[in-house]
Amino acid sequence: MNKLIIITGTSRGIGKNLAQSYLDDGYIVVGCSRSKTSIIHTNYLHYCIDASDEKSVINMVREIGRKFGKIDALINNVGTASLNHILTTTADSADNLYKTNFKSTFLFTKEVARIMAKAKSGSIINISSIAVPLNLEGEAIYASMKAAVESFTKISAKELGVFGIRVNLLGITPTKTNLIKTLPKAKIDSLLSRQIIPKMSEFSDIKSVIDFYIDDKNRLITAQSLYLGGIN
């Protein structure tokens, strides 16, 4: 049977590209987003849900478990940013950043791990950002939520390792998606200059790291964080 991978946030950007790439690789891909998908493939299943809604996540993951009997990998990709100074960040904006970036990761990890534990195997990859190690100004709440994801990655790796589940993290650099289209070029250039390799990431750069994390040959790789571009 083909391997099954869940990818959150597949309506556009990185998530959509990853979904299409893993379908090309022969995976069964299950994606989700608030909106409908444009991906059409016999091995693709899409759920229109709010990834931070506990009941929706439980229903989705348990339905997948009943239908396929296993989940080989999970990519917690869904996320959103908000470029705001602390003094201009509203409480509602902070709540949204928490729900989208951290709560969704927690909920999916928790539910998917229940199924992976039965098979004594599985790989979970959490997506973060170089905004965390750079302590990026103007992104206090976003970076704080991603920092929580990074801490969650290390602790969940310890808690889930006994079940044969590996949990790792990938911190990405600016990538050409809708998320950064509104950012001034000077802001992006300034951020890139703080990387050892001052280049934006391509989708292929992201997938190659995820491929490494997922590969069964790397059975001892867990609780690791890798940042594309390197940090000065």
Q: Residue 20 — very low, low, confident or very high, per pLDDT cuts 50/70/90?
A: very high
- Dist CA 156 CA 5 (whole Å): 19
Q: Do 186 and 223 meet the contact criterion of CB atoms below 8 Å apart?
A: no
For residue 125, the model assigns a pLDDT of: 98
How many Å is the Cα radius of gyration of the chain?
17
Q: Residue 189 — very low, low, confident or very high, per pLDDT cuts 50/70/90?
A: confident
Average pLDDT over residues 106-131: 97
Average pLDDT over residues 20-33: 98
For residue 182, the model assigns a pLDDT of: 65
Alpha helices, DSSP H, located in 99-202:
104-119, 140-160, 185-192
Tell me which residue of 76, 102, 84 sits closest to 169, measured CA to CA.
76
Residue 181 has pLDDT above 70, yes or no: no
**47: which strand partners?**
32
The fold for domain 4-227 equals Rossmann fold (3.40.50)
Alpha helices, DSSP H, located in the chain:
13-24, 54-68, 91-98, 104-119, 140-160, 185-192, 203-214
Mean pLDDT of the chain: 95
Q: Residue 16 — very low, low, confident or very high, per pLDDT cuts 50/70/90?
A: very high
On the CB side of 10, how many CA atoms lie within 13 Å of its CA? 28
- Dist CA 117 CA 19 (whole Å): 24
Tell me which residue of 201, 182, 6, 203 sits closest to 81, measured CA to CA.
182
Q: Considering Cα of 143, then 148, then 149, then 150, what sign does the dihedral take?
A: positive
For residue 162, the model assigns a pLDDT of: 98
Which tens digit of pLDDT belongs to each residue from 33-89? 999 999 999 999 999 999 999 999 999 999 999 999 999 999 999 999 888 899 999
On the CB side of 42, how many CA atoms lie within 13 Å of its CA? 2
Q: Considering Cα of 176, then 178, then 182, then 187, what sign does the dihedral take?
A: negative
Alpha-carbon dihedral 179, 181, 184, 189, rounded to 10 degrees: 80
